[in-house]
Amino acid sequence: MVSQLQELERRSRHLSTSCFNNDLLNATTREKNARMFFHSKVYNVAYCKVPKVGSTFWTLLFTILDNGVNFGKKLLEENRDSIHRRQYTFFSSFEYVKSQQDPTILPARDPYSRLFSAFIDKIYLPVRLNYNYVILSIQNKSVCPTNVSFQDFLKWIVNETKAGKSLNQHWTPIYIICGSCEINAQYVVKQETFAKDIDVVLQRLNVSSEKYDFIMNTLEGTRIQSSLPGIVAQIFEGTSGSNVRRCMPWVEVTRRIWHSFQIQGYIREDRGYPQGTFDSIGDNLAPSLVSDLILAEIFKYPMSSEERQIQRENALKRAYEGVRKDVVDAIKDVYALDFSLYGYSNLPPNER
Measured at the CA of 96, the angle between CA 92 and CA 169, to 5 degrees, comes to 55
Distance CA 19, CA 26 (A): 9
pLDDT in tens, 162-176: 999 989 999 999 999
What confidence score (pLDDT) does residue 350 get? 96
Mean pLDDT taken over the chain: 89
pLDDT in tens, 291-344: 889 999 999 999 998 999 999 999 999 999 999 999 999 999 999 999 999 999
φ/ψ of 274, rounded to 5, equals -80, 75
pLDDT in tens, 33-88: 457 899 999 999 999 999 889 888 999 999 999 999 998 888 877 767 778 888 89
pLDDT in tens, 172-215: 999 999 999 999 999 999 999 999 999 999 999 999 999 999 99
Distance CA 335, CA 346 (A): 9
Q: Give the number of residues written for the chain.
A: 352
Residue 20 vs residue 295, higher pLDDT? 295
pLDDT category of residue 28 using cuts at 50, 70 and 90: very low
pTM: 0.91
